[in-house]
Structure 1
Amino acid sequence: MLTLRRWWEQAPATTLFTALAVVVYIITAVQSRSLMNNLSASSLGDAWLLYGPEVSTGGLDRLRALGAAFLHIDLGHVAINGFLLMLIGREIERFAGTALYTAAFLTGAVGASATVLWMDWAQPTAGASGALFALMMLLVGVARVSGGDLRAPLAFVGVNVIYTFLAPSVSLWGHMGGLLTGGAMLFFFVHPDVRVRWAGVLAVLTASVVAVGLV
C-alpha cells in the first residue's frame, strides 16, 4: 500500500489538490458546525460557491470558477471526489509530469465552471467532479498512447456519464463541461511533442478563462 510520502513523491500535485479539498471541507464544516450540510453557514462556502448571479458581478467573484472545484457540500462528496482524484490523477501526473498535469487539472476545473455558468447560470455548484471528468477523458488518451487496454477507462467514463444523467443531485453541466474540456485537450495532451502539449492545454485554458469573463 502506498504511504502518504510515496504518494507525494509520485504525484505531488494530485496529493496537494486532494489535501486542499479536504482542508477546505474541514474549514466549511467547522464554520457551519455540520459534517453533512457544511455550506449552509460557511463564509468560505459563500465566497467560493459557483453561482452565476455572484460571478456576474465581476472582480474577485470570478475566482469562484476555480475555487468551487475545491469546495464540497458534505463528507461523502469530498470523500468520493478525493478518492477518485487520487486514483486518476496519480496516473495522469506520472505520465505528463507535475507541471502539465497541474495546468490540465486547472483547465478542467475552469472549463467545467464556464460550462455551468453558460448553460445553468442560476444553479449553485461546487465540487471537483468537473475537473475529474476532464481527467477521465485524458486517462483514455494516456491508456491509448501507453498501449494499455482502453476498455477499462472507456467503461469508467461511460458509467460516470450514465450516473450523471440518473442522479438528480449532481451537476449535469459541470460534468459535461469537464468532459468537453478534457476532450478539447485530449489530442494535445498526449502528443509526443511537449511544445504541442503545452500549447494545446494553455489554449483551452485561455478559452475557458475568456468564457468565464464573458458571463
Structure 2
Amino acid sequence: MITLRRWWADAPATTLFTLTAVAVYVITALQSRSVMDNLPGSSLGAAWVLYGPEVAQGGLDRLRALGAVFLHIDLGHVAINCFMLMLIGREIEKFAGTALYSAAFLAGGIGASATVLWMAPYNPTAGASGALFALMVLLLGIARVRGNDLRAPLVLILMNVIYTFIAPSVSLWGHLGGLFAGLMMVWFFISSRPAVRWSGVLGVLVLSCVLVLLV
C-alpha cells in the first residue's frame, strides 16, 4: 500500500492507466474463465478489441480505438505492458506533468489504433504497446534534454522494433503507428515553452482522432 501511494503521488496518471489495464484484464479473465486466453468468451473483450469492420460502423464502436489500448490478450501481455508503463511512464510524467503526459499517452495509443485501422483493419488488435512505443520515443527526447546517455533508450527502442518484426503475434502497424506518433510529438514535447509542448501533443491527438473518424 505504501508503494502504491508513493507511485500515485509521483505519477497519478501512469498509476491510473496501469490499474485500468489490470482491471480490464481481470474482468475479461473472469468473463472468459481463462487467464491465458481471456478475450474469447469475454463480452468486454468483444466490445473493445480493435477491428476495422466494427469501427467502420461508427457510433460507440469508434471508442474501440481507445478501449483497445487497455485491453490485453493474456496474463503475460498485460504484465509486460504494465511493467513497462510503470517504469517509462513515471519518468515521463515527472518530467512533463500529469496533464501533458496523459495527452501524450492518449495521442500515442489512439495514433497506434488509427494506424492499425488504416493499414491492417482486418487484424484484431489489443494492447498498450502502441502507446508504449510513443512513450519510448519521448523518453529518448527527455534523455537528450537532460544530457543523459542516449544509448539505453536507443537500445530499448531498437530491441522493441526488432522484436516487432520477428514476433508473429505482435501488431506491426500498432507498434509502428505508436513509434510514428512519438516521433511527431517529441520535438514539441521537450520544448521549454508550454504552448509549444501542448500544441504538438494536442495536434497529434486530434489528428489521430480524425483518422479514426475517417475510417
Q: Note the alpha carbon deviations across 1:30-66, whole angstroms, 9 max, x for none.
A: 0000001100000000110000000000011000000
Q: SS at 1:36's partner residue?
A: coil
Q: Where does residue 177 of structure 2 map in the other structure?
A: 177
Taking only the aligned residue pairs, the percentage that are identical comes to: 72
Q: Deviations for 1:164-185, whole angstroms, at most 9, x for unmatched residues?
A: 0010000000000000000000
User: What is the CA–CA distance in structure 2 between the aligned matches of 1:209 and 1:61, rounded to whole Å?
Assistant: 13
Aligned to 1:163: 163
Q: How does 1:38-187 map to 2 (within 5 A)?
A: 38-187=38-187
Aligned residues: 214
Q: What do the CA deviations read for 1:195-214 (whole angstroms, capped 9, x no partner)? A: 10001100111111010111
Which sections of structure 1, spanning at least 5 residues, go unmatched? none
Paired with 2:54 and 2:32, the residues of 1 have a C-alpha distance of 21
The alpha-carbon deviation at position 17 of structure 1 amounts to 0.3
TM-score by length of 1: 0.99
Instruction: Describe the SS at the equivalent of 1:168.
Output: coil
Structure 1 runs (4+) deviating above 4 angstroms are none
Number of the residue aligned with 1:17: 17
Normalising by the residue count of structure 2, what TM-score does the alignment of the two structures yield?
0.99
How far apart are residue 105 of structure 1 and its match?
0.2
Deviation, structure 1 residue 28: 0.2
State the shift of 1:3 in Å: 1.1
Q: Give deviations 1:91-141, integer Å, cap 9, x for gaps.
A: 000000000000000000000000000000100000000000000000000
SS of residue paired to 2:168: coil
